[in-house]
Structure formats: C-alpha cells, structure tokens
Structure 1
Amino acid sequence: MCQLLGMNCATPTDVTFSFTGFAARGGVTDHHSDGFGVAFFEDKACRLFIDNQSAGTSPVADLIKRYPIKSKNVISHIRKATQGTVLLENCHPFMRELWGRHWIFAHNGDLHGFAPFLSGVYQPVGDTDSELAFCALMQGLRKRFPGSQPPLNELGHALADITRDITLHGVFNFLLCNGQALFAHCSTRLYYIVRQWPFSKAHLIDADLSIDFAQVTTPDDRVAVIATAPLTDNETWTQFAPGELIMFEDGRPTMTWSVPIPPEVQAKNAANTACT
C-alpha cells in the first residue's frame, strides 16, 4: 500500500525528522517506489514538491531532508501504483483552489466502479481514482457552500457526508488540508501522535536517527503527526478507528465524525491495502 504522512502544528515547524523516516519507506525499507510528494502550507497558499522517482532515491526528497521549511500544515505521500501509470501527474499530493485557498489531498486506498459526474470546474489531470475522488470532494463542497467557506465544524460535517458516498467504492484513507485545519479519514489503517511540552526523545523506525525535541522546542509548540504506520519505536501512537474522520487544529484533534465503512472494506487487511 501507499503511505500517508501529515503534520498539523500550533506554531510553524519543520518536518525533516519525520520525513527522513517516511521517505525511507519509498524504496529503501519498503516498496513504495512509484513516486512521492510533499506540500507545505503558508497561510492560504502552499509549496508543492512532487516527483515520479522513489522517495528513497529522488534528489527532490534529498532537498526536503536538507531544507527545513517551517509550516503549520504538511501533507506527504509515497506511492505504490495500482490504478494509473507511474507519471508525474499521478503523484500525490494533489492541489486545487476553493474559496480563495489552496486545498491539498493525498489518498491511500483503491476505489472501484467510481465514476462521479464532474461539472467541469474540477477535472483530473492524471488517470488515478485518487485525483478523481479529490475532484469529487471539491465539487461537492463547492456545491454545498457556493458563496464562501463555512465554519470549520460545518465544513467537517459536509466532508463526512461526501466521504460516506465515496467509501461505498472501496478503501478511502486520506488527508485533506486547506491551511487552516487538517482532516484525516481512516478506512483501514491510520495513526497519530501529539507531541507537546514537556517534549521527549524520539527514535525513527526506518532510519537510525534520534532527536531530543526538548532541545529544539518551546512550551508554545505542539505538533500532531498522522501516518499510515507509526514512524517511531519509542513513542505511543493512537490508532484511528475505521470510519473516523478527525479534524486537527493547532497541533491537536478538535472534532471527530464517524463515517460508516462497508463490511467488505472493513474486512480488508490493512497490510494488503493498495494505493493509486
């Protein structure tokens, strides 16, 4: 399966430590070698880097490891293709505009028989079901709130409704962000951890690298990290329940919705989850 990484913070923070372990899963410690991407929000806009090379060998990934971009919201993805060829336009995250903001989306899963009608405002550039689902999400939100963005709690309710329809077609783990909040939905497998004062040491699973966060943080810092599988082996990660949609703000979960998951999706072993 592909892998997802998200970070939501109270203050601008760099993702270099987590990304170093995460990128190793792109062809070094695991087999997700069909491209990768990472997006860093700066208020309403974001910096987006994608490459159809593996994260384990890409010069773009090396740049991200060496360049500590500070952001309050980050989404990254490493890809193992099932639907869609190994091309740059099929690399996640995907970006679209809605209500004068950039929106970023990354998906881990596999949707079958999914053919939504798209009016024309949002159309996929590549040929993955993931980008198609993102376009359907954006179109659905725009249709419900044509004038301007609603309060985040109303936005979350609408997102849960639209997600419910898409999950009927298969596994739909995703991360979605507009620079204000990060939404994470679990169909099969997703974890998160909140790091806050007093901070402690962390050691990566996929690289022999440790960091003492207490040496590089302040009491005002708080960071929520979301990942398909835990990135560290000496911290306690919280597993999402299947169907959970969680909104993260300022480095912590603030609201949760429950989206019914079809029995056939629940039966899938998370270790066999595919990605497009």
Structure 2
Amino acid sequence: MCQLLAMNCNVPTDIVFSFTGFAMRGGQTDTHHDGWGIAFFEGAGVRHFVDHQAAVNSPIAELIKRYPIKSKNVIAHIRKATQGQVALENCHPFVRELWGQYWVFAHNGDLKAFAPVLDGPYRPVGSTDSELAFCYIMQQLRNRFGTERPARAALRAALAELTQEIAAYGTFNMLLSSGAELFAHCSTHLVYLVRQFPFDTAHLSDEDVQVDFSQVTTPDDRVAIIVTQPLTSNEQWTAFQPGELKVFVDGMPEAQL
C-alpha cells in the first residue's frame, strides 16, 4: 500500500530532512513507485506538487529535497496503486475548497465496495477510492455544518464519525489539513514524534543522512512528524492505536476532551 508523511509545527519549518528519507521509499528502499505528491500550506495558499513518476526518479522530488520551503502544515504521499491507473490525476495529496479554505488530503489503504452518493459540488477527477473518500468527507462536512466552519471540537467529532464510517469498507489511514491544524486517522499503521527543546541529532533509516537539530532550531521551536513507518533509527516514535483520530496543533497532539 501507499505511505503517508505529515508535518505540523508551531513556526514555519522545512521538511527537507524527513522528505529526503521518505522519498527513498518511493522506488528504492521500498516499492511505492506509482507516483507521489506533497502540499505545503503558506498563509491562505497551498504549494502543491504531484508526479506520476516514482519519487526516486522524479526531478520534482529532487527539487523538494533541495528547496527548503517553510510551512506549519505539510502533507506528503508516495503511491503503490491498488485502485486507479498510474496517472497524474490519481496522485495524492488531493486539494479542495471548503469554508473559504483549501483542504489537503492523503490516504493509505484500500476501500472495497465504497460507493457513496455524491450529490453536491465535490466530485473525483481521478479514479481512486481515496479521492472518492475525500469528496465524501467534504460533502458530509458541508451538509452538516453549512457555510460556516465549526469550532475545532465539533469538527473533530464529525471527522471521528466519518472516518469510522469509511474505515468499515477497508483500510483508511488518512491525513487531512486546512492549514490551521492536522487531522490524522489510523486504521492500521501510523506513528508520530514531537521534536522540541532540547534538540538532538537524528539519523534517517532510508538514507545515510543525519541532522543535529540543536544547530538549526531555536528553543521555542516544536515540530510533530506523522508517518506510516518511522523515518529515523535513533528516535522514539509513538504508534497510533487502530481506529484513533489525532489532531495536531502547533506541533503537539491535542488532548481529546
């Protein structure tokens, strides 16, 4: 299946280190060679890059590894196709507008016999179960809350219901963000860590690269990394529980009330 990567921070931060290791899984250290993509929130806008080529062969992926785009919320994906052909329109993450904000979504898994009725403005462009699920989530949120974005607690509760509903059709590990926070739902495999003061050196598992974060951060910085499988070999990663939905705000998982 596919793999997911996300970053949520309290200050704009680049994802070069994590993406360097993650991209290696797109055709070199793993078999996720059916396309990839990444989206960076910047203010109200989104920088969105996708490519149907394997990440290890993609000139665009090479650009991302060398160009330190800073963002407080980033979602990335490397694809191993289960539904839909290898094509640009089927590459995650997907982007839609709701409540005057861009929403970015990526999914790891396989949904069987998932065929919701879409009767509003949200329709898939490609042929993946993932984009169909995203359109369904956007439709249901709009139907439930109307034209105004609800408080985060209400939004979290609605997403908890929707992710459980969709997960009944198969594996539904997903990442979703509007740039204000990051929602992450686990069906099978997701892990996370929080880097904060005092910072240390981290070693990538998929590439011979290390960074001493104490040299490139301030004591006030805080970064949460969420990924399908741990990216580093010397840090303590925390596993999600199956069925768990977490919300990350300013580089920390928010306590569930």
TM bucket (normalised to shorter chain) is over 0.9
Partner in structure 2 of residue 244 of structure 1: 244
How far apart are the structure 2 equivalents of 1:12 and 1:225?
14
- CA deviations over 1:54-109 (Å, ceiling 9, x no partner): 01110000000011000000000000001000000000000000000000000000
2:214 alignment partner in structure 1: 214
Taking only aligned residues, the RMSD between alpha carbons, in angstroms, comes to 0.8
- How many pairs were matched up? 257
1:105 match: 105
Q: Secondary structure at the match of 1:198?
A: coil
TM-score (structure 2 length as normaliser) = 0.99
Deviation at 1:43? 2.4
- Which position in structure 2 is the counterpart of 1:2? 2
Tell me the equivalent position of 1:273.
none
1:260 is matched with: none
CA distance in 1, matches of 2:162, 2:133: 10
Where does residue 37 of structure 2 map in the other structure? 37
Matches within 5 A, 1:51-200: 51-200=51-200
Kindly state the Cα deviation for residue 147 of structure 1 after the two structures are TM-superposed: 2.3
User: Matched residue of 1:26: which SS?
Assistant: coil
Structure 2 CA distance for aligned equivalents of residues 160 and 141 of structure 1 = 12
Where do 5+ consecutive residues of structure 2 fail to align?
Answer: none
Q: 4+ runs of 1 displaced by more than 3 Å?
A: none
SS of the residue aligned with 2:174? strand
Alignment partner, residue 268 of structure 1: none
Distance, in Å, in 1 between the alignment partners of 2:23 and 2:240 is 22
Q: CA deviation at 1:164?
A: 1.6
Question: Can you list the C-alpha shifts for 1:101-156, whole angstroms capped at 9, x where unaligned?
Answer: 00000000000010000013100000000000000000011111102101111110
Q: In structure 2, what is the Cα distance between the partners aligned to 1:144 and 1:8? A: 27
Q: Deviations over 1:11-62 (max 9, x none)?
A: 0000000000000000011100000000000122211000000011100000
Residue 18 of structure 2 is matched in structure 1 by 18
1: distance between equivalents of 2:44 and 2:162?
Answer: 23
Percent identical among aligned pairs is 65
C-alpha contact 1:245 1:256 (8 A) present in aligned 2: no
AA matched with 1:103: W
